[in-house]
Amino acid sequence: MLLDHGLEAGHRLHDDDSLHPARQGTQNRVPDEGPAQAAAHEADRVGLMGSGLGGALVWNSVLGPLAGRVKAVVVMQAVASLEAVIQEHKFKAPCLRAYGLPADTPDEEAIARVAPHDPLRRLRKLQPGTPLPRTAIYHGAEDANIPPETSAIPLAEALRRAGGEVSLELFPGVGHAVYAMGEPIERRIEAFFSFLREDRMSL
């Protein structure tokens, strides 16, 4: 969809194994070479898109190896808080597996172990004025898998406190199925990333 309009956004950022520090380098390494190569060759046009547990990888990349280089981020039905994932238990096992922890690790211990890699915790520590990408957050208002109250909404609040430009759209009646919206969500993504193409054309 984006390639048809002269845009490319790194997107293979949704598997739980991609959360593991070993997949991310000292802090976080983007497992798909696409975003990393884009950052190296077209630093003014880098966009990332992620969903599910891959939302954590997107933000840890923005805060780590790609700090100051990502210009746009789209996250859909995406995790922002590993602490919430652990406390809600639904995806606790794959989250802990990504960090080499047993699925039955007590919540308090698990939260402490993954804390250095918890995006929301890291974002909340940012000082106002920290360079951040323009961000669009798309989330189902009825998402029971990744509740917006513990991911999308606090993510938007943390980014805004740091001075980020953020749009948050919660879709009434939609669960963990933003992708299934089809053309409406595709149009939103295309329109959001279009400024990267416009920036390139103005060079």
**Residue 4: what pLDDT?**
46
* Domains of the chain, each with CATH number or no CATH: 3-201 (3.40.50.1820)
Give CA separation, 2 vs 53, 92, 187, 201, in Å.
Answer: 22, 33, 10, 16
Contact indicator for 9, 49 with CB cutoff of 8 Å: yes
Mean pLDDT for back-to-back runs of 10 residues, the chain (203 residues): 43 45 37 44 78 94 93 96 97 95 98 97 96 97 97 98 97 94 95 79 49
- Cα–Cα distance between 54 and 12 in angstroms, integer? 8
Structure-token match 């974002």, residue found: 123
- Other CB atoms within 10 Å distance of the CB of residue 4: 7
- Cα–Cα distance between 196 and 136 in angstroms, integer? 14
pTM over 0.85: no
**Residue 198: what pLDDT?**
65
